[in-house]
Structures are given as structure tokens and as C-alpha cells.
Amino acid sequence: MKNFFKSLKFSFLSILIMFPLFLTADEGMWLPLLLEKNYSAMEKLGFKLTPDQIYNLNKSSLKDAIINFGGFCSGSIISKDGLILTNHHCGYDAIQNQSTVENNYLKNGFWALSKEQELSNPGLSATFLVRVEDVTQKVMGVNNENAKYAPWDSAMQSVTKKIVEETTKGTNYSAEIKDFYGGNTWYLFVYETYRDIRLVGAPPESIGKFGGDADNWMWPRHTGDFSLFRVYTAPDGKPSAYAKENIPLKPKYYLPVSLKGIQPKDFAMVMGYPGRTRRYETTGGIKFLLEQSNPTRIKLRGAILRIMKIDMDENEEIKLKLSSHYASVSNYHKNFIGQNKGLVRMNTIETKKAEEDAFRKWVSADATRKAKYGTCLDDILSATENLKGYNLARDYMNELLFSAGGVLQIPYLVSDAYKMMKKPSPNPDTLKTFITETSNKLKNHFKEYNYATDKKIFTAVMKMYYNDAPKLFHPTIFDDIEKIYKNDFNAFTDDVFNKSILTSEEKLQKFLLAPNVTELENDLGFKTMQSVLDSYNNKILPLATPERRKLGIATRLYLQGLMEMKKDKQFYPDANFSMRLTYGKVIDYIPKDAVKYSYFTTLDGIIEKYDPWDEEFFVPQKLMDLQKAKDYGQYVDAGGKLYVCFITDNDITGGNSGSSVMNGKGELIGLAFDNNWEGMTGDLVYDGTLKRCINVDVRYILFIIDKFGGAKNIVDEMTLVK
């Protein structure tokens, strides 16, 4: 689930939907303020708190300890001094940026033995939810007059922008409005964001990433996927950029940490910020993913990974630079493969068709329903089919600009400064601010950049883009490659990388000292990126926008009709990176004939997987010594075993990485970090028998901090419950 949101840019089919049929008690990602509907089911599973103790505007509650970490993951506050617990892979970029070949914190780990040793991370943030408000009437209009618009239409965006501006005026808060149930319901989310976030602790990769790509999305798992940060504030407690005089946050609430351990069927609750689910995608949408979108992304990312892996294996410095980006690309490359296999295994298309047939039959039975909902499924199908014609080019553009990384990401980093420079009379102070911010972004970018690798990836992806995408949607830069370079992509790449300032931090920083719009616009790398974007804006978007609009409006009607048809069913909204709560239980599973997986793994399993010749299964000598001596301290279960990971049937997805896993009393028992291979369809279809949430046991986290890392000072600031 690493860096999930990087894979969402330019997505045509990121529509909000739900899966209302055959709901189980565990299924669904629920808004914390609406838990009254779920309370009795949660109590039956072992929930001991009240809904007010989870979400409350007038006093502290669990929601005040749950954060959006960095804009792409989840995290939780676990001490009175603002200590953050999140995943190792969520903190990976920050840890990598702090590392050098001489002080490689990815390889060796990092532990701050005092607050003075904690490391600042420019650009990293922690965002707290202040409140949520239903603004459906304000957005849709009292008489639902805005129902004729899709959620992303400018008319809707204008309304939501006005509400956000009114809400945040005169405050240091931010706000956003999100649509639910395909645009039938709208909620306003108000946030407070802190930007002085310091690294406190991280295990070495051999623990935090144990199992690597081989074990990614798999169970059983033995990965200590956690890292620790701290929120700092200005002396008056308000958000502030890094300053030496800043102090640790005094949170409204923080989670107590349980040492009591887990048992089968124990209640488990996950709170965090899940990304995107599309639980009521139609048959056309499923076919679209199976036949075109996923295979395209699998092919492209596979090529990128092969190039990166060769270079990373040859040089330790290159490996350090590229490791975070490699993990990001690899994560969803494997996810797309598993998703396709799961959709076929579950006969998803046949199941979806049966649901749609039942809806059509219900609509046809009533003239009023037929007038309102009669064409919505046909409209969804036709729009989805038409979008397939544009999607291949869109996918190639998306992968070239984002997954491929490197040279064509630079224009996005300089975009704010570029827009300001383009103005007839730019404000000098504002321009200076943008230039400074851009300079800092570039420094971080080039910490993860390798010229030779980027050059190979650029050539490979441009060739695939040219050969596979419909010629109608080719960017005009391909005309130059044909005419000037005679289709020699290597020669074109040589020119880009030899002449463009985008491939050199030194050249870019020099440019920023005396920025010139004409110089940038004539740069071959910049022109290439502009050509790709122009193709999207001028060739793809005009054709795709009407289909997207039709899809959005039809989806809203379809979901409205489903809720009307199934009035006795409890509907949950799709995930959309707003705070959600899911509840379930600790449970094992049987993935196939004659195979049964236990609900937990132990340190003994790490030793069993140890392979000194495979970096993904390397085990530090100190950890082996602790295991041999059974020196586990207070972190063992009643039988003397040290649990590493455990599984629950909580409903999670990308973005939930770093989410707290709590028992029925709201005490921290683990940290969610992955789904299992058999549950890869979870973004589209929930399978309660096979889908599992993989978590690090909090006792293993404490053991690594204390016994392995020697940073008992960090454990001492937590509230441990025995």
C-alpha cells in the first residue's frame, strides 16, 4: 500500500461508489461521526466505548489522536509529547532523505535518545481532523438543482470553493468538501496541519522492510513496518514551520498502548485515512480494468522496475537514492497483478451482472422509477466503453510523468514559480517565496535521482508510449522524433539529457537565481513535458470530459436508485481519503484446499526465513542474538512467544498504511500496514472469507525500540496498559 496516491493522478474512473448487498458486520469504512448506526454490531463483537468517545466536538476523543501523515498515509499520536507512530514505508522518504552512504539510516536504523537528536523533515506534515459537517443541501441546492452536474464539474467546484473559503476565513484551518455515494451526499472536513515533523526512530530496513518485494501483500508476514516521528509546535501551541524554539505538541488525546496481547476473535478497530475504493464498479468498469488498464500498468511498471533493479544492484549509492521510488512502483505493480487474478477467481463480472440485472428488473416494474433510473446503467456502460478509447494514452502519459519519475517530474516542482514568472508584473516578494520553495523541492528530488537510470527509463517508456498508444493521441514531440531524429529514441534522449537543465540540480539552482521564462520554455526537457500535457489537455480531455460527466451523473442516479431499492440495507460510502473507522476481529483464514494460516507470526519465523545471501531476508545479528537468548522483556505472550504480526478481517485499503489498530477499549494493539494476496480485489469487491488486514503487533514494535534499538526513552513516554 506504499505511496498509494501517486498512482491516482489523472484517473478518469476515480468515482465514489458503494457495495450495499450482502453486508457483513465487518465490511465497510465508516465515518466516525455516524457510528450510531453500527454501534450494536460493534458491541456484539466486543466494543467497550461509546460513539462519543470516538468522535466528539466538545471534548477530546479518539479522532484527535488519528492523523493524516504526509498527505499519503495514516498515523496516530501515542504520547503526551506528540509522538507519532506510522509505518516504516510511510516514513521511508524522510528516512532516505536523512541518509547518506556514511550515515545510512535506511540500512542501519535511527534512534533519537533525546529530543535534541530528533531530525527535521522539511515538507512533511501531520494533519488533524477538527470537525465534519454535512453540507449536502448547500452543495446540491435546497431543491437538488445541482443534480444535473457531475461532482467535478466547475459549477459544483464553485459552490464547494465558496463554502471552504467561508469556513476557513480568519482561521489557520484548511478545509475540503468530499462527495459520497456518487455525489448524493457531501461533507465538509475541517483540518489543522502541523509542519514541523521530526524523525524520532526507525528500525533498519532488514526489520522495517523484512521480506521485501517477495513478501509484499503476502501472509504470513514478519515485517516490523513502523517508524516514529514527533509533531512540534510554536511555543504558543500553534502550527509552525521548523524553528529551534518550537516545542513538542501537547495533543488533545493520545492512544494508550496495550501489552495485553491478542486472542482469536478479539475485537479489532482500525482508524485512519483509506484512499480509494470502488465497491460498486459496474461490469464495464471491471472489464476495463481487467482487459486494458491493469495490463498496461503492469507492463510499464515491470519495465521500469527491471531497469532500476539492475542499476541498484551495481552500486550502493544508487540503491540508496532509488530505493524509495523503487518500492513505490513495485508496490502497486504487484497489486495490479493480484487484483486481476482475484477478480477472475471471484467471478466478479458474473456477480456484478446479476446485481445489475436485479436493478434493471426493479426499475422496470414502476413507471416513475423507469423515468428516473431507466437509462443510468446504459449510460454508465456507454461512457465506460468510450473512455477506453482514450485511457491507453492517458495511462502512458500518467506513467511517463509520475511512475517513471525523473526528468519529467521537474516541471511540476517548478510549476508554481513558472506560473508566477509568466505573469506580466509578478510580485517580487511572492516570486521570491516560490523560488525558495522550489529550490527546497529540487534538493529533495535530487536526493532520489540518478541521471543514468533516469535516462534509460525515459527512453524505454517513451518508446512504449510511441508504439502502444493510439497515434491520434500522440504528443507533438513524437513528430519531432520522427522527423528530426528519424525515430531514434536513443538520439532524442541524448539530446534531452545533454541539453536540458532539468537533469541537473546545479543547472536548475543556477536558473532559479535568475529565472527566465523563455529559457525554460525552450528547454527540450520542458518542451517534452509540455507536449505530453498539451496532448492530454487538447486531444484527450475534450473527448473524455463529456463521457466523464455522463458517467458521474449516471453513477449518482444508479447509487440513489440502489439505496431506494434496498431501503433495509445499511449503506457505507466508498473510501476517499477521509477519516474512517472499520471494525472486525482477530481471525485466521483458509486460502485454498489443505492450507490454513494462523492469525499470528513470531520472531522464530524471522529466523526460519533468514537468508544471508538474500537482502530481503537478511536478519541483523543483534536480533538473532536476542531470539537465541529469548531476551524479550515484557513484550511476550503468556507462553513466552514474541508475536511479530497478526491479521484481522478489518476492511482497509491504500492510505490506511500507518493506521492504528485498537482493541475494544481504544488501546493500541497494532499498526496496519498491508492487505493479503487473496484479498487484492478489496478496492472493488469485499470478500470477508479471504480479505485480511496485516498488522505489526505493538509488542514487537516496543521490543524493537527497547531491546533492539536501545531507545527505552521512547517507550517510557508512552502510557503502557498491562
Residue 630 belongs to a domain: yes
274 lies in the same domain as 287: no
568, burial (CB in 10 Å: exposed 0-12, middle 13-18, buried 19+): exposed
| Whether residue 267 is found in the same domain as residue 395 | no
CA–CA gap between residue 179 and residue 16 (Å, rounded):
7
Of 539, 562, 585, the last residue of a domain is 562
User: At residue 76, what are phi and psi to the nearest 5 degrees?
Assistant: -145, 155
Task: Please check whether residue 476 lies inside any domain of the structure.
Answer: yes
Q: What is the pLDDT of residue 591?
A: 92
Q: Give the span between the Cα atoms of 684 and 335, in whole angstroms.
A: 13
d(C-alpha 160, C-alpha 148), whole Å: 16
Judging by beta carbons within 10 Å of its beta carbon (0-12, 13-18, 19+), is residue 309 exposed, middle or buried? middle
Are the CB atoms for 583 and 26 separated by under 8 Å?
Answer: yes
Low-confidence ranges of the chain (pLDDT < 70): 1-26
- What's the CA gap between 318 and 447, in Å, rounded? 10
Q: What is the pLDDT of residue 2?
A: 47
Catalytic annotation, pick one of 225, 379, 651, 683: 225
34 lies in some domain: yes
- Give the whole-angstrom CA distance, residue 15 versus residue 12: 8
Looking at residue 594, what is its pLDDT? 94
Among 406, 400, 411, which residue's Cα sits nearest to residue 523?
411
Is 316 in the same domain as 432?
A: yes
The CATH number of residue 53's host domain is 2.40.10.120
In a domain, 188, yes or no: no
Q: What's the grid cell of residue 70?
A: 504526509
Q: Are residues 624 and 548 in the same domain?
A: no
Clarify whether residues 25 and 111 are in a common domain: yes
DSSP state of 30: B
What is the reported pLDDT for 1? 53
State whether 262 and 308 are in the same domain. Answer: no
User: For residue 194, what pLDDT is reported?
Assistant: 98
Whether 494 and 439 map to the same domain: the answer is: yes
Q: Are 228 and 287 in the same domain?
A: no
Residue 508 CA to residue 494 CA, distance in Å, equals: 18
Phi, psi angles (nearest 5°) of residue 266? -60, 145
Q: Are residues 667 and 713 in the same domain?
A: yes
Q: Three-state SS for 717? A: coil
Catalytic-residue membership of 93: no
Q: 516, 533, 562 — which closes off a domain?
A: 562
Q: What angle do helix axes 376-398 and 348-364 make, rounded to 10 degrees?
A: 150
CB 415 within 8 A of CB 426: no
* CA neighbor of 327 nearest in space, from 338, 312, 341, 315: 312
Exposed, middle or buried by CB within 10 Å (0-12, 13-18, 19+), for 146?
middle
Report how far residue 207's alpha carbon sits from residue 626's, in angstroms, rounded to the nearest whole number. Answer: 14
Tally Cβ neighbours within 10 Å of residue 169.
8
DSSP string for residues in 253-268 = ----EE-S---TT-EE
Range of the structural domain that residue 542 is part of: 283-562
Q: How far is CA 335 from CA 176, 216, 649, 677, in A?
A: 29, 9, 19, 8
What is the reported pLDDT for 568?
A: 87
* Catalytic (active site) residue 89: yes
Let me know whether 381 and 493 are in one domain. yes
Shared-domain flag, residues 636 and 521: no
Q: What is the separation of C-alpha 337 from the centre of its chain, rounded to a whole number of angstroms? A: 18
| Of 293, 657, 659, 660, catalytic | 657
Contact between 417 and 438 under an 8 Å Cβ cutoff? The reply is yes
* Single pTM value for the model: 0.90
Radius of gyration over every alpha carbon of the chain, rounded to an integer in angstroms: 25
d(CA 517, CA 607): 58
| 531 found inside a domain | yes
Q: Is residue 322 part of a domain?
A: yes
Q: What pLDDT does residue 16 have? A: 27
- Reading phi first (left if > 0) and then psi (alpha if -120 to 50, else beta), residue 82 is in left
- All three cell numbers of 152: 467535478
| Residues 402 and 493 occupy one common structural domain | yes
CB within 8 Å of 559: residues ≥ 6 apart = 17, 18, 181, 182, 184, 280
Residue 100's nearest CA partner among 361, 384, 320 is 320
d(Cα 372, Cα 51) in Å, to the nearest integer? 37
Out of 533, 562, 591, a domain closes at 562
Residue 329 covered by a domain = yes
> Residues 88, 89, 333, 474: which is the catalytic one?
89
Residue with cell 509552525: 240
Please report, for residues 418, 436, 517, the alpha-carbon distance to residue 433 in angstroms, rounded to integers and kept in the order given: 12, 5, 17
Q: In total, how many domains does the chain have?
A: 2
Helices within 244-375 (DSSP H only)? 283-288, 294-314, 316-345, 348-364, 367-373
Per-residue cell: 635: 513484550
In a domain, 571, yes or no: no
